[in-house]
Amino acid sequence: MSVLDTASDKPGWSFDTLAVRAGQERSQFGEHSEALYLTSSFVFQNAAQAAARFSGEEPGNVYARFTNPTVTAMQERLAALEGAEGCVATATGMAAILSTVMALMSSGEHIVASRSIFGATQQLFGTILPRFGVDTSFVDNNSVDAFRAAVRPNTKLVFIETPSNPLTEVFDIAALVEVAHAAGALLVVDNCFCTPALQRPLQMGADLVIHSATKYLDGQGRVLGGAVCGTKVLTDEVFKFLRTAGPTLSPFNAWVILKGLETLSVRMTAQSANALELARWLEGQPQVARVHYPGLASHPQHALAMRQQASGGAIVSFEVKGGREAAWRVVDNCRLLSITANLGDTKTTITHPASTTHGRIAAEARAASGIAEGLLRIAVGLESVADLQADLARGLG
């Protein structure tokens, strides 16, 4: 039985039901589709109510930097899907990561992060946070022992992304929970690639889940957004930072993401199935040296991936023979696949990491981390796999 079959904070409602129904609250008009409350502030019946709302004595909306009903609905739906007590929506995925650090850490504390995290997260941890007295040790591989060796007495967060980008390395969430907790730290998982449709880190003991809702939660490349999910105690701290500092999600974006969540499960299932089919086909191409996809038996952590994920996900990377020149030929022959570094869309995208997302890393360091010149990353969408194969075959041939 998959790890996904039991997650729900509403016993009786399955994931698919929660995805369409959780968080919905109808106004007096009885709208069937969720309403978009495009308002920055809220009115009070009298001075006493204003005072009670401001003091927190009476629950309710005050100002949309703090709460807005559309944003609340999206938070509740995502919390239900992650099996989380609390969720705080943020303006972007990076705002979710920054808010987590600002809410939970102080100067003098330390982060252990995998090296293979999102580029902007690496920049934030490696170059911005040190100015505020927060240092990060980056772990170069996915070995649990390497994480254990990197924690210090002042480590507050252990931060991972699994599967990683672009090589789809898989990290053992349950084992890293133990490492983090033994050190008195929290395990934070950026669950952007799998989404709760395929992987629920909180069920495996993780303390917080981070999302770039910009990717699969919206799912159609329309808006930016982010979220932090976890226990109420932790997300309340994140909320206190957010309502004061202001990296709040706009109600419009929350509404788009709320509707995106309704199709999350069907999209992730279909896109993962397409990815597996494409990965198998790529493995059979003579011009392809290697395919990185957790759903393939050839993946070094295939067994672990199948234990903690419902499927391999929708990201496939592969190395073509002939280095950068051969890789660029594949990209330049694409008429269907979109040449963009974005991912999480229903439209399939292709990127050459060594010259785009990882282009600023020194060539030796890039090679050492496995990002070869011939590597291409595909974020598989909903098109027919036959059409995707034909598009790639032109450049491979």
What does the binding site for ligand PLP look like in residue numbers (CB under 6 A)?
92-94, 118, 120-121, 161, 165, 190, 192, 212, 214-215, 224, 226
* Residue closer to ligand PLP (CB basis): 105 or 189: 189
CB of 90 to ligand PLP, least distance (A): 9
* Residue closer to ligand PLP (CB basis): 163 or 251: 163
Quote the CA–CA distance of 25 and 305 in Å, as a whole number.
Answer: 37
CB of 144 to ligand PLP, least distance (A): 21
CB of 257 to ligand PLP, least distance (A): 11
* Residue closer to ligand PLP (CB basis): 92 or 99: 92
Report angle CA 185, 214, 105 to the nearest 5 degrees: 25
CB of 119 to ligand PLP, least distance (A): 9
In angstroms, the Cα distances linking 48 to 64, 120, 227 are 20, 45, 33
Quote the CA–CA distance of 282 and 276 in Å, as a whole number.
Answer: 10
* Residue closer to ligand PLP (CB basis): 119 or 323: 119
Quote the CA–CA distance of 233 and 177 in Å, as a whole number.
Answer: 18
In angstroms, the Cα distances linking 73 to 21, 152, 234, 258 are 10, 39, 19, 7
CB of 57 to ligand PLP, least distance (A): 35
CB of 42 to ligand PLP, least distance (A): 27
Quote the CA–CA distance of 389 and 378 in Å, as a whole number.
Answer: 12
The DSSP secondary structure of 348-396, one letter per residue, reads -EEE-GGGTTTTTS-HHHHHHTT--TTEEEEE--SS-HHHHHHHHHHHH
- CB–CB of 171/201 below 8 Å? no
Closest residue (Cβ) to ligand PLP? Answer: 93
Angle between helices 264-283 and 251-262 (to 10 degrees): 70
In angstroms, the Cα distances linking 59 to 25, 54, 371 are 16, 9, 50
* Residue closer to ligand PLP (CB basis): 120 or 174: 120
- Sheet containing 186-190: give its strands across: 86-90, 226-230, 208-212, 186-190, 155-161, 110-114, 135-139
CB of 376 to ligand PLP, least distance (A): 17
* Residue closer to ligand PLP (CB basis): 88 or 192: 192
* Residue closer to ligand PLP (CB basis): 165 or 351: 165
Quote the CA–CA distance of 82 and 89 in Å, as a whole number.
Answer: 13
- Amino acid type, 357: T
* Residue closer to ligand PLP (CB basis): 98 or 320: 98
* Residue closer to ligand PLP (CB basis): 148 or 211: 211
Q: Nearest Cα to 259, choosing from 292, 297, 291, 222?
A: 222
CB of 295 to ligand PLP, least distance (A): 19
CB of 211 to ligand PLP, least distance (A): 8
Question: What's the alpha-carbon Rg for the chain, to the nearest Å?
Answer: 21
